[in-house]
């Protein structure tokens, strides 16, 4: 095992697949000579050269359009949109073209491409650079949606996304970039659509994604040590495909379900999980399903305000205590 930061794991995952497959190419703003604005792609230009690692103009539409065309011709492009908020600028290409053309051409055109982006809050970038938009992508048929919580999953899930025959939106939570973790050396691939139970428990299931996973784990530790509540934490990892089996089996054991979502509350991904659990396990539940979310307002840039709005370990603990008591 190697000790890598979340950001270093991004470069490791890309490099692994570029070494394996000469059809993998990478493009985006400042991704080549500068090594990425978040320094996730340092060294790739030196190893793979300017034909495969390409800087682009400051145009999200150009980046996505070029990636779409490249994938139609047999390449496997990785396209970086610097901040996930900027998908709003090129959403027609993503939602109306890339997501639908394979279906509309009866498979004559396919899109084996990955759209990477820095997602979410916690880094004081303000309302237009801090949105967590995985629920946007989840709502569009034809897109796969991945959001890793740790360095090992970054490498493994990114590799699987690059190999996948369908378009994948890969969301890297920017506040996690500096976090270190153990990452398998050599080839590492994690299958898409498989959730991971990162802490076992008996009293309540907590479903979390990306940056909310370490917060849920911290809350679970406090619940056990301070309140005697045993919380099982499920890292959802992929929203599409969604591993409902792991989540349902966990909730069937514990009888209680809490989601922790960075998304604004209205139409967040946890609402879909709550609907599935309520439909499938209504008679197994020992209490209402609880969602811990960000309020339905833009994120402020002030430290205290952003911290107050995003789900915290303390707020998770209070929500679980209220459910269990």
Q: Which of 129, 188, 227, 296 is catalytic?
A: 129
Q: Which residues, at least 6 apart from 91, have a Cβ–Cβ distance to it below 8 Å?
A: 136
Q: Which residues, at least 6 apart from 34, have a Cβ–Cβ distance to it below 8 Å?
A: 55
Cα–Cα distance for residue pair 215/316, rounded to 1 Å: 8
Query: Which uninterrupted H or E stretch holds 307?
Result: helix 303-309
Sort strands 53-55 and 24-28 into parallel, antiparallel or unpaired. parallel
What is the CB neighbour count within 10 angstroms for residue 222? 18
Can 296 be counted among the known catalytic residues?
no
Strand order in the sheet with 204-208: 196-199, 231-235, 204-208, 257-264, 290-294
150 phi/psi in degrees, rounded to 5? -150, 165
Cα–Cα distance for residue pair 261/310, rounded to 1 Å: 9
Catalytic center residues: 129
């Amino acid at each position: 095992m190697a000790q890598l930061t979340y950001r270093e794991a991004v470069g490791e995952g890309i490099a692994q697949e570029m070494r394996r497959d000469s059809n993998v190419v990478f493009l985006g703003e400042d991704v080549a000579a500068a090594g990425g604005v978040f320094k996730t792609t340092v060294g790739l230009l030196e190893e793979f050269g300017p034909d495969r690692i390409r800087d682009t103009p400051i145009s999200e539409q150009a980046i996505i359009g070029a990636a779409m065309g490249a994938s139609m011709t047999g390449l496997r492009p990785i396209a970086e949109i610097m901040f996930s908020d900027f998908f709003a600028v090129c959403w027609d290409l993503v939602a109306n073209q890339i997501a639908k053309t394979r279906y509309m051409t009866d498979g004559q055109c396919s899109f084996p491409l990955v759209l990477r982006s820095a997602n979410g809050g916690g880094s004081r970038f303000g309302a237009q650079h801090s949105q967590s938009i995985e629920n946007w992508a989840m709502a569009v048929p034809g897109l796969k949606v991945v959001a890793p919580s740790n360095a090992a999953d970054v490498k493994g899930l990114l590799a699987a996304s690059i190999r996948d025959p369908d378009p994948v939106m890969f969301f890297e939570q920017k506040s996690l970039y500096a976090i270190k973790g153990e990452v398998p050396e050599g080839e590492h691939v994690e299958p898409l659509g498989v959730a991971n139970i990162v802490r076992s428990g008996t009293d309540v299931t907590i479903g979390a994604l990306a940056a909310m996973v370490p917060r849920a784990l911290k809350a679970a530790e406090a619940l056990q040590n301070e309140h005697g509540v045993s919380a099982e934490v499920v890292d959802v990892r992929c929203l599409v495909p969604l591993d409902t089996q792991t989540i349902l089996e966990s909730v069937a054991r514990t009888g209680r379900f809490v989601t922790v979502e960075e998304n604004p509350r209205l139409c967040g991904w946890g609402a879909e999980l709550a609907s599935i659990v309520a439909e499938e396990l209504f008679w197994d539940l020992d209490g209402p399903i609880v969602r811990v979310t960000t309020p339905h307002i833009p994120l402020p840039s002030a430290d205290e305000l952003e911290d107050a709005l995003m789900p915290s370990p303390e707020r998770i603990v209070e929500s679980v205590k209220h459910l269990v008591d």
